[in-house]
Structure 1
Amino acid sequence: MERRRLGRKGEEIPVIGLGTWGIGGYSTADHSSDGRAVEAIRYAVELGMTHIDTAEIYGAGHSEELVGQAIRVFDRDSLFIATKVWNTHLRYDDVIRSCRRSLERLGLRYVDLYMVHWPNPRIPLSETMRAMEKLVKDGLTRYIGVSNFDARLLGEAMQALKSEEIVSNQVEYSLSSRYVERELIPFCERNGVTVVAYTPLGRGRIVDEAHRGTVRGRVLAEIAGRYGRTPAQIALNWVVWREGVVTIPKAASRRHLEENAGAAGWRLSLEDYRRLSDAWS
């Protein structure tokens, strides 16, 4: 699996990882597919998608539990495990408590990346970031990240840190969701912050357009045919075309996991990247 540098660190992470929103439930825990979920996570790792993203709020913590069950059979050092603290838990003590509870559910001594899931304007970023630095100091996370921060808030969070730095910002980014290109991605590129793209297939709508033959969908389908790839693989490769971007598509079947993994290790030409960008603008 192709890998890219994380922020300004020496660490490298897979260009295609695994998102787990909906695995183990959404707002509440769903145990109906636990066995298949564990199998899917393990297969993702076997395919090289060793960056696994979860959050305390996914399935009310059950997603973290399933990730923990799945990864126990692998060498911990081969994995990059990321989780997130919800925006109602951003007071100093709440951040520490949430991280420890996530670690218990994951069955880990530390996570590789701990993120603020969403900003909360009622809680000072300085207080939250002080807690995040404490987690690094205590060895409970290796790196600090944020999610759903615009350029202004990301800058404030960076300034609030004393001894650590923000390595990533997880945001929605796809052919059909491009708002982050205006300010946020250029800001991240200038400041050495990796963009982690979630929902890179637009919740299935992008591939659906290719199948339905919309004007922009036909462009995607034509390019896919020329490369001998699927529309989903072309769409994912477009997302990670920029060097500072990685992505974490969700997949729960072996076929979709293999398809996602096949989106890495090659690169759209500049001409085709621009054609897609123009068609989907």
Structure 2
Amino acid sequence: MLSRREWLNLTLGAGAALTFDRSVLHAQQPLITRAIPSSGEKIPVVGLGSSATFSQVARSEDVTGLREVLKAFTDQAGTVFDTAPSYGASEEVAGRIAGELGVTEKVFWATKVNVAGRGGGSADPAAAKAQIDASFAKLKKGKIDLIQVHNLGDVPTQLGLLKELKKAGRVRYIGVTSTNKSQYAELQTVMRNEPLDFIGVDYAIDNRDVEEAILPLAQQRKIGVLVYVPFGRTRLFTRVGDRQVPDWAKAFGAETWAQFFLKYLIAHPAVTCVTPATSRAKNVVDNLAGGRGQLPDDATRKKMAQYIEGLPSA
């Protein structure tokens, strides 16, 4: 098995001699797509997030690396870009770079709204509308693909605005997000009672709480699922350390740990798209490869989770 570094060096090389290398052939397989339950429209199962390191670089003066990230992402058939006003300059920088690259219309733009804050409270409708209008301006779009209420902030007010925008044809899909287990009971209530196209939740091979009730309910209610923090920020990479990906992972095409972690999530039928964040083009290539080729079956997914559980915690 190739290490993550070896696989990336081979995949990013331009020499013709690599044409028949197994890893390069793997990278050329088409991205798996999955249907958005409410419409049937298909999107790639691996997208790109813009929190964490992407957001940090977006705040800097030199965003050359992010230009390379978005170019690699769209060149390799990636479309779903997840962002939020709270991710610093991510929205504005991504919108500007996409325009410069001429890929604005190729991207499935997913952003958020929340002026109520994490602590709850009431959202000022005028402030929420202003935040949404700012997103349209930053992304340079007259219609945004998806806007979600971030962290379940004042859902009646803010989701109400999104319903109006969807009815007016300015937003194609709407939803809510939560990355806090203490909100999952509220999230389930909203899922049962509101016409959601998507939810966004944190989910990783060592963070499987959503498998208990959230993901089954999403399937039952025909709600799409965006997955955030699939590597636990960097927690999972720290946990596996310098270990090689186990040999048995080659049966489902996982050449690197990133692909191993992503394929576990993608193989769950409720998951529509996983959105790992990165500020490096080589990681984009690696992550997208996690959405190509075979996926593990249920028995293998159990084996994968048990393997990671057997390692020391990060």
Q: Into which bin does the TM-score normalised by the smaller protein fall?
A: 0.7 to 0.9
Is 1:23–1:37's contact at 8 Å kept on the other side of the alignment?
no
Seen in structure 2, the aligned counterparts of structure 1 residues 24 and 105 have a Cα distance that, compared at 3 Å, is farther
DSSP 3-state at the match of 2:227: strand
1:177 maps to which of 197, 201, 207: 207
In structure 2, give the amino acid aligned to 1:5.
Answer: A
2:43 matches 1:20: no
Q: Hey, what does 2:110 align to over in structure 1?
A: 82
Residue 277 of structure 1 deviates from its aligned partner by 2.5
Residue 235 of structure 1 deviates from its aligned partner by 0.9
Q: Hey, what does 1:221 align to over in structure 2?
A: 246
Q: Which runs of 4+ in 1 moved over 6 A?
A: none
Q: Hey, what does 2:137 align to over in structure 1?
A: 104
* 2: CA distance, partners of 1:29 / 1:235: 26
1:69 maps to which of 89, 96, 110: 96
DSSP 3-state at the match of 2:152: coil
Seen in structure 2, the aligned counterparts of structure 1 residues 53 and 183 have a Cα distance that, compared at 3 Å, is same
2:78 matches 1:52: no
Unaligned stretches of 5+ in structure 2?
Answer: 1-30, 118-122, 310-314
* 2: CA distance, partners of 1:255 / 1:46: 13
CA-to-partner distance for each residue in 1:49-69, whole Å, 9 max, x for gaps? 11001100111xx11111111
The TM-score normalised by the length of structure 1 is 0.85
Is 1:93–1:131's contact at 8 Å kept on the other side of the alignment?
no
Seen in structure 2, the aligned counterparts of structure 1 residues 199 and 66 have a Cα distance that, compared at 3 Å, is same
Is 2:192–2:221's contact at 8 Å kept on the other side of the alignment?
no
Residue 24 of structure 1 deviates from its aligned partner by 5.7
Judge which range, 132-141 or 14-23, deviates more. 132-141
* 2: CA distance, partners of 1:237 / 1:221: 14
Q: Hey, what does 1:248 align to over in structure 2?
A: 275
In structure 1, give the amino acid aligned to 2:268.
Answer: R
Unaligned stretches of 5+ in structure 1?
Answer: none
In structure 2, give the amino acid aligned to 1:117.
Answer: H
Count of residue correspondences: 267
Matches within 5 A, 1:1-281: 1-22=31-52, 25=55, 30-59=59-88, 62-72=89-99, 73-74=101-102, 76-88=104-116, 90-120=123-153, 123=154, 125-148=155-178, 150-158=183-191, 161=194, 165-213=195-243, 221-224=246-249, 227=253, 229-245=255-271, 246-265=273-292, 266-280=294-308
In structure 1, give the amino acid aligned to 2:280.
Answer: S
Residue 159 of structure 1 deviates from its aligned partner by 5.8
* 2: CA distance, partners of 1:16 / 1:24: 16
Residue 76 of structure 1 deviates from its aligned partner by 4.5
Is 2:196–2:223's contact at 8 Å kept on the other side of the alignment?
yes
Seen in structure 2, the aligned counterparts of structure 1 residues 81 and 193 have a Cα distance that, compared at 3 Å, is same
Q: Hey, what does 2:28 align to over in structure 1?
A: none
Residue 117 of structure 1 deviates from its aligned partner by 1.0
Seen in structure 2, the aligned counterparts of structure 1 residues 277 and 23 have a Cα distance that, compared at 3 Å, is closer
Is 1:24–1:37's contact at 8 Å kept on the other side of the alignment?
yes
Is 2:65–2:281's contact at 8 Å kept on the other side of the alignment?
no
DSSP 3-state at the match of 2:218: helix
Q: Aligned-pair RMSD on alpha carbons?
A: 2.4
Seen in structure 2, the aligned counterparts of structure 1 residues 166 and 202 have a Cα distance that, compared at 3 Å, is same
In structure 2, give the amino acid aligned to 1:233.
Answer: Q
Is 2:45–2:266's contact at 8 Å kept on the other side of the alignment?
yes
